[in-house]
Amino acid sequence: MKKNTYLSLAAGIIVSAGGLYLAFRNVPFRDLTAYLRAINYLWIFPSAGIALTAFVLRVVRWQIILESDRKISFWNAFHPLMIGFMLNCILPGRAGEVARPAILQKKSQVPFTTGLATVAAERVFDIAFLMLLFAMVLSTVSIDPNLSIPFGKYHLNRELLETIGKNMVKLSIVLVAGILMVSIKATRNLIIRIIMGMPALFFFASPEFREKIKEKVCMFLVNIVENIASGFSLLRFPGKIFLCTILSFIIWVLSAFSYYVFSLGCPGIGLSYSEMTAVMVIICFFIALPSAPGFWGLWEAGGVFALSLFGVSAKDAAGFTLANHAFQMLPVMIVGFVSAMIIGVNIWQVSKKEV
């Protein structure tokens, strides 16, 4: 791995260690193990089944996005997606987001930048629905204004949640603006003209040097812009956008339902489906921060904080969040490893694409 990957991993481990401390500092180990023994683990099976169904719908959604540029079979989309999510569980820096288009390029000859753009398009749908669910959480969930959990120099409270939400909105606006600039033909052509005009900046250099800049740099950048535009060609098909929107809604409904079903076997939780949806949304915001592979620490910190909003004790919150985290990831990791074996992908070599 490169130096920046080691730095990312080290920073993530530090943040995750802080999250684990925050989540479990008030929970004696004996109480935690006692709670984990008290869980009815039969609820794992329907919960895992629901979660994997959501992933199948993610595959279908990705197929639709890819179809706007070229048609990909279900299995040619399924294996890269599951391997990508599996790598997110075991490698730092969300390596799976980059490995997925690398596998697609290798197996289906889709240009890497096009595949990466389709992954970004997926994230646009996910962020949009997370923002919608987050708005619902803030409008429907009553958060004690005096509730504040210290975490280093930060305090986990309603104000922090609102700040995170505002930053996500700003990020979303920048992302959408960038997508539109590349996807709309007029602005894309302007970007290409600017790129092709770069050699003129080297007016003091020889014509041969400027020609090399044009061939080696400008044409390379133009190719990237065109491939990214191909990845976002979904914008030309309103019907497909609508279908992806419906699928995104179902995906997040099922994801929250998976949390809720598992909670039915966990003592002391007793939250409604809408309350468990709020817990899931808050966890998603926490794990958006840099963390160790698998989001350990931040997932638990987010879960304990979210459950505390509904009066769940620290012991029950920590036990449920730890178990739910493990069993949300385990099926994805198993399916991802099986997919890697089926299509003969060396996941360590593929992961080097991003490092």
pTM for the whole thing?
0.79
Long-range contacts of 273-281 (CB under 8 A, 24+ apart): 274/140, 275/141, 275/310, 277/133, 277/136, 277/137, 278/137, 278/140, 278/141, 278/306, 278/309, 279/303, 279/306, 279/307, 279/310, 280/255, 280/256, 281/130, 281/133, 281/134, 281/137
Q: Where are the domains of the chain?
A: 3-153+240-351
- Render 50-87 in DSSP notation, one character per residue: HHHHHHHHHHHHHHHHHHTTS---HHHHHHHHHHHHHH
Q: Where are the beta strands (DSSP E) in 79-204?
A: 149-151, 154-156
Residues 6+ apart with CB under 8 A from 239: none
Overall residue count recorded for the chain in this entry: 355
pLDDT per position in the chain (355 positions), as tens? 455 545 554 554 555 555 555 555 656 677 778 888 999 999 999 999 999 999 999 999 999 988 877 788 999 999 999 999 988 887 766 777 888 888 988 888 888 888 888 888 888 888 888 888 877 777 776 666 666 665 555 566 667 667 766 776 777 777 777 777 777 778 888 888 888 888 888 877 888 888 888 888 888 888 878 777 766 777 677 888 899 999 999 999 999 999 999 999 999 999 989 889 989 988 888 887 666 677 777 788 888 888 888 888 888 888 999 899 989 988 998 999 899 888 887 766 665 554 3
Dihedral over alpha carbons 78, 229, 89, 335 (to 10 degrees): 0
User: Which phi and psi angles does 131 have, rounded to 5°?
Assistant: -65, -40
